[in-house]
Amino acid sequence: MALAAGLQFDYVSLAEGAPARWDDVLGVVTFGDGAAPTGNIPLITVRTPVLAGGGGCEVWRAQGRVESGQHSQVQYRRSDDLLFGWISLTEASGLGAATEQAYREVFATVNELGYPHLARIWNYLPQINVETQGLERYRQFNSARRNALIAYKRELTGNVPAACALGSVTGSPLVVYFLASRQAVTAVENPRQVSAYEYPEQYGPKPAFSRASILDGTLFISGTASIVGHETVHVGDVAAQTREILANLEALVSEANRLAGGPSRFDMKSLAYKVYVRNRPDLAVIQSQLRATLGPHARLLYLQADICREDLLVEIEAVGRSN
Ligand code: 3EB
């Protein structure tokens, strides 16, 4: 799947996870608990079990030469225009400290190497809904992410990266990976939802992410849940939550087309989707809802992961190029 000038994305199986050609690979993310494929560039391992589809490996490529590097604890691969980076930290001094350190290092890396525009950030942390010291860990994460943004004088609203934040298997490190650019990124909000950075106080420290981003003809849709306004809808009904997410995704695609202007269009059928399922037994219901709307040929990778509100049963992210 060809994305922005040069950027390409694919889901492959674990067996194919070590590409024959590495020279244009920006990054390889492997999901699940299986052994990571071996290769001569480092791989990102995210411990979220694979339930179906896609093979469990996400490969990002760029056009032209790509080189590897490391800046503090951030490892990266970069082309002339794009930098794909990742950092994995154990929680030696708690989740807040690890999150703040990870984000400080991400910002230092992209600033110093000259790729200051963050298009998309993926966040995975264990026990995301567990409360410690009186605060849910997802809220601790939000507070620490904000502190790092403030420390680096980055925006807290408006022009913030698209993102997702999911629960990984207990005992996993905090894993943050990201795509940054030399070129500006356009943030997209969902007209059906209150912007996350404007959520009311009841949800804790305000989450600093945009609903989607556009970078050079590529649309990155953030983790999208069954939320309308700021409230979870269809509590306990996974089929209805899936349909509400599809409505949110349609709204985001329309909004992205409005903002992008021009003749080229994003459309639901040409996106690739990553679907996070809280409870394994819900998989079949979610799959049948998605097939009904997206058709039998949609590219879908299903992972088991906890989602950042206890009442959310499913969350979906997407990526694709305009045509
Ligand atoms: C939501 O809409 C669901 O904290 O980075 C989705 C995408 C969600 C990103 C994040 C959280 C994040 O509020 C949760």
> pLDDT by residue (tens digit) across 298-308?
999 999 999 99
- On the question of pLDDT at 77 being above 70, the answer is yes
Average pLDDT over residues 38-59: 81
Residue 6: pLDDT band (50, 70, 90) is: confident
Q: Which of 218, 242, 223, 225 is nearest to 117 (CA)?
A: 218
- C-alpha span between 197 and 104 (Å, rounded): 19
**What pLDDT, on a 0 to 100 scale, did the predictor assign at position 12?**
79
Ligand 1 mean position, distance from CA 141 (Å): 11
Find the 131 Cα to ligand 1 centroid distance in Å. Answer: 18
pLDDT on residue 36: 59
Average pLDDT, the chain: 93
What is the phi/psi pair of residue 62, to 5°? -125, 170
> How confident is residue 228, by pLDDT bands cut at 50, 70 and 90?
very high
Residue 237's pLDDT band, with cuts at 50, 70 and 90, is very high
Q: Whose CA is nearest to atom 13 of ligand 1?
A: 196
Strand (E) or helix (H) holding 194: none
Query: In which element (H, E) is residue 104 found?
Result: helix 95-113
pLDDT at 320 over 90: yes
Task: Specify the pLDDT at position 69.
Answer: 96
Q: What is the pLDDT of residue 35?
A: 56
Q: Closest ligand 1 atom to the C-alpha of 308?
A: 14
Closest-lying ligand 1 atom to the alpha carbon of residue 222: 7
pLDDT for 19 equals 63
Of all protein residues, the one whose alpha carbon is nearest to atom 12 of ligand 1 is 164
For residue 33, what pLDDT is reported? 72
Which residue lies with its CA nearest to atom 14 of ligand 1?
308
Q: Tell me: pLDDT of 37 over 70.
A: no
Q: Give the closest residue to 269 by CA, choosing from 239, 297, 303.
A: 297
Q: How far apart are CA 249 and CA 76, in angstroms?
A: 30
Arithmetic mean of pLDDT, 132-143: 97
Among 165, 266, 182, which residue's Cα sits nearest to residue 220? Answer: 266
Q: Answer whether residue 16 shows pLDDT above 60.
A: no
Joined together, the tokens standing for residue 193 give: 């939802």
Distance 9 CA to ligand 1 centre (A): 22
pLDDT-derived band at 39, boundaries 50, 70, 90: low
Strand ranges (E), 72-173: 74-78, 82-89, 117-126, 131-132, 135-136, 162-168
Which band of pLDDT confidence, cut at 50, 70 and 90, is reported for residue 281?
very high
pLDDT top residue among 222 and 63 = 222
Protein residues with CB under 6 Å of any ligand 1 atom: 123, 163-165, 196, 207, 209, 222-223, 225, 227, 308
Mean pLDDT of 286-305: 96
Instruction: Write down the pTM of the prediction.
Output: 0.96
**Rounded distance, CA 305 to CA 315, Å?**
9
- Give catalytic status of residue 198 as yes or no: no
Percent of the chain with pLDDT over 90: 84
Residue % of the chain over a pLDDT of 70: 93
Q: Stretch 124-130: mean pLDDT, rounded?
A: 98
- Say how far apart CA 286 and CA 125 lie, in whole Å: 23
The answer to whether 50 and 303 are in contact (CB under 8 A) is yes
Separation in Å, CA 280 to CA 128, 301, 314: 17, 14, 11
Contact 307, 276 (CB under 8 A): yes
Helix (H) or strand (E) holding 45: strand 44-46
